[in-house]
Amino acid sequence: MKKVRKAVFPVAGLGTRFLPATKTIPKEMLTVVDRPVIQYVMDEARDAGIEHFIFVTGRNKTVIEDYFDVQFELYNTLAERGKNDQLDLLRETQPKPGQTSFTRQQVPLGLGHAVWCARELVGDEPFALLLPDMIMQSENGCLKDMVELYQHTGSNIVAVQECDPEETHKYGVVGRGDEAHSGFEITGMVEKPPHGTAPSNLYINGRYILQPEIFPLLEAQERGAGGEIQLTDAMLKLMTDQAFYGFHYRGRTFDCGSREGFVEANVAFALWRPDIYPNIVKVIEDLLESTKPMERRSKPR
C-alpha cells in the first residue's frame, strides 16, 4: 500500500461570505487568535505525516506563498534582538525547503475542478485533501486518525461528523454501512440532499484521503450543483470501482468560511490556549454581562 505523503489545499475560492475583508486578504489568511487559518490546517497535515504540501491558488492569493516563505530580514532582526522564542515559533510553523508547491486554478469552477488542477503535482499516488476553511480542534488531529484507518483499509477515506438532521440539506452526506476497523463502509454519498432525503446525519467535514483514479473522473466531470464541478459527483463515480470508508471524527470542527464559525473558532482556540485562557474567560464574561440586547446594533457596520 502506498503511503499518503502529499496533501492538497484548495485555496482558490472567492470567499464572498467574508467580503469586504476578502477583497484584499484571502480568507485562509484571516487569523484565529494569532495565526492564519491555513496554519492550523498545515499543522494538522504535518502531524499526520504529510511531507509535501500542494496549494491550489488563484488571483490575490500570493500572500499565502509569501507566508510560507522564510522572511530573512525578520529572522535576522529577531536574532539580533535576542527574541529567541519568536524565532522558534517562526521555525516551528515553517515548511522545510522544497516541501511546498503552488499551482493556479485560474477560474474558480468549483472544488472538484480545484482538486483536478493538482493532478500533475500529486501524480500516481494517494493524497490527502484538506479544505482549509474547516479547522479542527481535538487532541489527535483528524487527518492523523484517518491515516491510521487508511493503513488498515487502503482505498479512500472521508471524515464525517454528526449534524442536526434538519441541517443535512446544507452538506455532503454519506450513507453508513458495516463497521470496518475504526471506521465504517460508506454506502452512498449525496451533495446537499433535499429535506427528508438524506441517507444519514453524517456530513463530510472537509478531510479526505483519495486515490489518484479520482483525477480522470474529475476531468470528465460535468458541472453539478450550483453550476460547479463537484468533488462529490466524482467520488460517487469512483465508488463503483473502489471502496470508500468513513471516519467518524469526534472533535470540534469550525467552518471558518462562515462568520459565525470563524468567530466561534477564535473563542474556542483562545480558550484552549493556557497563556491567554484566564484573561479571555474574564473578557467574555464581562462582555456578556455588559452588552444589553438594546445596545446591539440593528444593522451590521
What are the residues whose beta carbons fall under 8 Å from the beta carbon of 296, sequence distance 6 or more?
none
Binding to ligand UTP in span 53-82, by CB under 6 A: 56
The 8-class DSSP code of residue 28 comes to G
Three-class SS state of 9: strand
298 grid coordinates: 440593528
Binding to ligand UTP in span 279-298, by CB under 6 A: none
Helices and strands (H and E) in the chain: how many: 11, 13
Q: How far is the CB of 109 from ligand UTP (least distance, A)?
A: 5
Query: 172 with 230: CB under 8 angstroms?
Result: no
Instruction: Compare residues 109 and 163 and give the one whose CB is closer to ligand UTP.
Output: 109
Query: 135 with 207: CB under 8 angstroms?
Result: no
Site string for ligand UTP, 242-271 (x = CB under 6 A): ---------------x--------------
Distance CA 90, CA 67 (A): 10
By CB under 6 A, tell whether 224 contacts ligand UTP. no
The 8-class DSSP code of residue 298 comes to S
The 8-class DSSP code of residue 225 comes to G
What are the residues whose beta carbons fall under 8 Å from the beta carbon of 154, sequence distance 6 or more?
1
Instruction: Compare residues 108 and 177 and give the one whose CB is closer to ligand UTP.
Output: 108
Instruction: Compare residues 17 and 83 and give the one whose CB is closer to ligand UTP.
Output: 17
Instruction: Compare residues 4 and 231 and give the one whose CB is closer to ligand UTP.
Output: 231
Q: How far is the CB of 53 from ligand UTP (least distance, A)?
A: 14
Q: How far is the CB of 270 from ligand UTP (least distance, A)?
A: 23
Binding to ligand UTP in span 8-27, by CB under 6 A: 10-17
Q: How far is the CB of 229 from ligand UTP (least distance, A)?
A: 8
- Would you tell me which residues interact with ligand UTP (CB under 6 A)? 10-17, 56, 105, 108-111, 113-114, 131-133, 257
